Amino acid sequence: MVDISDKPVTNRSATARAIVVLPLEIVNTMQADDIHTKKGPVYQTAILAGIMAAKKTSDLIPLCHPLGLNKCDINISINAKREVVINCTASISSKTGVEMEALTGASVAALTIYDMCKGFSHDIVIKDVRLVSKTGGKSDFKLKEQHTI
């Protein structure tokens, strides 16, 4: 692990995004802003799974510092292309950042959607898992949104 003992404690936050492309046969089953399967409500379950994963990031990623997150929020929405957009924001007051926690939360939420919907179809794509923004520490970062024509 990287030695962080001399770094100052600062408020840190990171947001990561994952996009899940579902076939229309699954999207068309949506009711009341969620997809319901035999396993239960997909998006609600994905949110819980993502938060749980973010809290356990150091158990999953070698050499990650174990962190007690102050907050972890996952938001799931549908974009104009009818893709599922998962945003995970993690925050902490610490000597190290929470980028890996945000990325892990978004990734596991996406994997949970796949797992819960695979009974309908395996034509599900998880794409564009990436850091969207981070604050605190040495440098801030904000993704420049790319517009396609």
Residues 6 or more apart whose CB falls under 8 angstroms from that of 50 comprise 72, 74, 86, 88, 105, 106, 108, 109, 112
Burial class (CB in 10 A: 0-12, 13-18, 19+), 102: buried
Q: Which of 34, 73, 115, 128 is catalytic?
A: 115
Please tell me the predicted confidence (pLDDT) of residue 149. 40
C-beta neighbour count of 70 within 10 angstroms: 14
Answer with the residue of higher pLDDT: 19 or 95.
19
Domain assignment present for residue 142? The answer is: no
The pLDDT confidence band at residue 72, using thresholds 50, 70 and 90, is very high
Within a domain: 58: yes
pLDDT of residue 71 exceeding 90? yes
Domain hosting residue 71, numbered range: 10-134
The domain tally of the chain equals 1
In the residue annotation, 115 being an active-site residue is answered as: yes
**Maximum alpha-carbon separation in the chain:** 54
Q: Establish if 1 belongs to a structural domain.
A: no
CB 75 within 8 A of CB 115: no
Look up the pTM and report it. Answer: 0.92
Do the domain assignments include residue 52? Answer: yes
